[in-house]
Amino acid sequence: MINLNHLTRFVRIIGFLSILFLDIFLPKSFAQQNERLRIGFYNMENYFDPFVDSTLQYNEFTPEGAQHWSYKRYITKRNNAFKTIMALGEGNPIALLGMCEVENDFVLKDLLYNTPLKRFPYQFINYPSPDRRGIDAALIYRKDVLRLLSSKPIPLRESLDPGFKSRDILFASFLVEDSDTLYVFVNHWPSRYGGEVETIERRMLAALTLKKNVDSIMLVRAEAKVVIMGDFNDSPQDPSISDGLKAGALEDTTYTSQLINLFTDAAKLGFEGTLKHQYDWQIFDQIIVSKSLIRAQDRLVLVPESAQIFHPDFLFDDDDRYMGKKLFRTYVGPRYIGGYSDHLPVYIDLRIINSGSQSDSKN
Domains in the chain with CATH codes: 38-345 (3.60.10.10)
| pLDDT over 80 (residue 13) | no
Give the pLDDT score at 24: 38
The mean pLDDT of 217-232, rounded to a whole number, is 96
| Contact status, residue 286 vs residue 249, Cβ threshold 8 Å | no
Contacts of 225 (CB under 8 A, 6+ apart): 180, 181, 182, 183, 289, 290, 292, 293, 296, 300
Give the pLDDT score at 23: 37
The mean pLDDT of 292-310, rounded to a whole number, is 93
| pLDDT over 90 (residue 294) | yes
For the chain, percent of residues with pLDDT exceeding 90: 75
| pLDDT over 90 (residue 298) | no
| pLDDT over 90 (residue 207) | yes
Q: Which of 220-224, 226-230, 336-340, 355-359 has the lowest mean pLDDT?
A: 355-359
The mean pLDDT of 180-197, rounded to a whole number, is 94
Give the separation between CA 325 and CA 16, rounded to whole angstroms. 54
The mean pLDDT of 3-17, rounded to a whole number, is 41
pTM for this prediction: 0.88
